[in-house]
Amino acid sequence: MQSRRKLRYRLIVSFTLFGFGLSALFAVAALNIRAKVENQLVVSALQHDVDQAVDQIIAHPDQQSHSELLEAWFKSERTLYKMPLAWQNLQSGVHDITETDANGVVRHYKLAVRRKDGIIGFVRYDAGREEVGKQQLVIALVLAVFLFTLLSLAIGLWLSRKVLKPVTELANRLRGFRKAGKAEPLAPHFADDEVGELAHALDEYSVRLTAMVEHDREFNSDVSHELRTPLAVIASTTELLQGSSDLTPKLSERLSGEDRFLPIMQHVALSNKHIHDPVTSPFQLLEFKPLDPRGAAVSRTEDLAADGSGDEVNAEGVEAAKAAFLKACSRGESNKADHLFLWLWDHVPKMEAFDLLMSVAIPKNSLDDHYFIFPAYTWRALDLYGDEHLKVLMRPAVRYVARFPTHRVVPDVDSVIEKYGLMDLELREKTGDDETAEIGRVGEAIGRVEKYPEIPRLLAQALVDGLSMEGAGEALSIGAAGLFLRSQTGNPMDVHMHTSANLRRWLLKLDGFSRRNRLLILLLWHTGPEVMSTQYRMNPVSEPDTAALAALPHRSQDELLAAITDSIHQQPPTDWSTVTNLGKMIAVPEVKETVNLAQQYVNLRYDPEVLIARLAEIVCHDSFTEMHAFKHHQSIVEEFRNTRDPWRWQHLVCGVQAAAISYGKNMEVFEDALDLMHASPANAIAAE
């Protein structure tokens, strides 16, 4: 926890500690130097004195010798016994001696000894005086340290007031602005120093902030009425949808509370983001006149200038129109393809035209999953809501499919189709209960593959062995779920393993869809870049972690549902500064903990609809994935309801895993929607 002490206090303490430390260091150094120098001087003086006295006695035995320092004794070998016993065996030099006298007083002295030519001299120096002097010096130094510390404290107090006075004044002026409710320029009141620069920066920030607040105030005052109308429309539309007999239960069960507005708002926000993009949207849907084959004809010269092929398209009729469309696609002429398709919608059955469009879209799946998904999802929406506006709504999809780069050939899959004779065999279309075991076997085999190109051969062999087209689609769905659970992906966009498999199963049931397109739908699932990328981030097996599941405590349905929700909500935030490639993100270990909870839920066979409803609440808050989370959720729900036991349950586990990966990345639309819905009084919509 960071210190909350004031800057002034920290400055005073720092300066005081600095003064104390410096003074104490000086005192210790002085004591050490004094002791060392004094000891050297005393030892040298004593030794010189005893040497001089002994030399004098040797030179002049008849003269009385004396020491220049206090006490001295000079003895011969015969009279040495008169000296203290502790001294008699001392060699020449200076000795530190401590002894207790007759009165019990401890005395410390230095004794210099000199032995020369039978004369032994002793000179004693009382060191007690030295220790008294040392004690007095220590007391003096302690007092000096204390005085210097007080001086440092005083200087620190003065400096803190002096240095921090402008900062304190700046803070007081800012508090004054809060009371006055109006900001005034700060920089003119301060010198041209660091505090002045801070004041100038605060002035600039204040100007920008004031402008933003004024803008928001004006916006809120204007929007309070404007919000009511669209929200009222959304509310009434939602209520009508809820009361509609045509509405599927899958949608109506998710439209409750404030969350019922979110799918609509997410759709509007995403559409507004892309609708004017010349690459990913219609950009401009000018009213084109349908272009028949005669309008697609070009001269030989024009055709040579275009691609050098030299073939001339000038025939009439449906086949010519189809050929012209395919040629436009081969050149990336999306607007021309759009013109031609407007004519085709009017002159061929709708399914025949859609089948032609998908013959280009499905192979381009290997370039981008959306080349397949965009037109197929649009067609599915029209199948639900009717084809009244088909020609308009399909125009963006036609343009998108026909744009550059041109459509791809798929030699690997073509060779599989040819090798197994799939175009010539009489293949079963509809599935039945008799296929359950085979569907499970093939699905589990797909879920165990190490290399995705093995999948087309598994499916082709299953078709040759008698599995129906619909059964193969269900097996693909089971395998896709197994591979998703094995995947280590942490990319919230990696949902096409499910969404693509789900959409392919729906297309397989369409009447009038050509066999080749049906086969390509099955055999090209793995080629989408977002599907293929997971192949390189895969765990060895997809079996549940039995040890981890066994360690989980038993919970009731409500308790386990709450644990799953909390686990999703508490996923670690992503450090985007470390993400250089979204497609290579690896899921954090906490995702596996969430998956284990989901596996426990399905193992206990708790109510799947309760879990589905909870996941719907979670995914409708997401705006990072541009509705990929929505699509994945809807896919796993449909796959759960259309897949046989026991494999259907793993789709719900996949839904939980995807929610844990995507949750919390970005919920801006949801948060803004809440702000907008609560910007006016709660009864604003009802009042309108």
Span 145-177, pLDDT tens digits: 777 777 777 777 777 677 777 777 777 777 776
> Is a pLDDT exceeding 50 seen at residue 232?
no
User: Which tops the pLDDT comparison, 198 or 554?
Assistant: 554
Query: Could you identify the residue written with the tokens 């399914």?
Result: 351
Residues 349 and 255 in one domain: no
Residues 279 and 313 in one domain: yes
> Is a pLDDT exceeding 50 seen at residue 682?
no
Q: What is the DSSP string of 225-292?
A: HHTHHHHHHHHHHHHHHHH-TTS-HHHHTT--GGGGGHHHHHHHHHHHHHTT-TTTS-S----PPP--
Residues 395 and 375 in one domain: yes
Cβ distance 361 to 375 under 8 Å?
yes
Q: Which residues, listed in sequence order, are joined to residue 73 by a DSSP beta bridge?
A: 122
Residues 253 and 296 in one domain: no
- pLDDT tens profile 571-606: 888 776 777 776 678 888 899 999 999 999 999 999
- What is the distance between the alpha carbons of residues 502 and 477, in angstroms, rounded to a whole number? 7
For residue 182, tell me if it sits in a domain.
Answer: no
For residue 416, tell me if it sits in a domain.
Answer: no
For the chain, what is the domain count? 3
Tokens representing 378 are 């649009």
Residues 282 and 394 in one domain: yes
- What is the distance between the alpha carbons of residues 567 and 389, in angstroms, rounded to a whole number? 44
For residue 458, tell me if it sits in a domain.
Answer: no
Sequence-distant (6+) residues with CB within 8 A of 341 are 325, 353, 357, 394, 395, 398
> Is a pLDDT exceeding 50 seen at residue 301?
no
Residues 554 and 678 in one domain: yes
Cβ distance 199 to 177 under 8 Å?
no
Domain containing 593 equals 249-268+544-571+583-685
Residues 37 and 91 in one domain: yes
Q: Cis link prior to 681 (omega < 30° from 0)?
A: no
For residue 415, tell me if it sits in a domain.
Answer: no
Residues 54 and 128 in one domain: yes
The domain boundary, picked from 403, 431, 460, lies at 403
> Is a pLDDT exceeding 60 seen at residue 306?
no
For residue 554, tell me if it sits in a domain.
Answer: yes
Share of the chain above pLDDT 70, in %: 69
Residues 335 and 257 in one domain: no
Q: What is the three-state SS of 612-653?
A: HHHHHHHHCCCCCCCCHHHHHHHHHHHHHHHCCCCCCHHHHH
Confidence of residue 506 (pLDDT cuts 50, 70, 90): very high
- pLDDT recorded at residue 209: 74
For residue 461, tell me if it sits in a domain.
Answer: no
The domain boundary, picked from 379, 403, 427, lies at 403
Query: Could you identify the residue written with the tokens 């004044």?
Result: 169
Whose CA is closest to 530, among 485, 500, 504?
500
Average pLDDT value for the chain:
77
Pairing state between β 71-76 and 93-100: unpaired
For residue 514, tell me if it sits in a domain.
Answer: no
Residues 260 and 317 in one domain: no
Residues 20 and 114 in one domain: yes
Residues 257 and 385 in one domain: no
Q: Which residues, listed in sequence order, are joined to residue 98 by a DSSP beta bridge?
A: 108
Name the pTM for this structure: 0.60
Share of the chain above pLDDT 90, in %: 27
The domain boundary, picked from 403, 427, 456, lies at 403
Amino acid at 559: E
Tokens representing 467 are 């599995």
**Torsion-angle region of residue 605: left (phi > 0), alpha (psi -120 to 50) or beta?**
left
For residue 164, tell me if it sits in a domain.
Answer: no
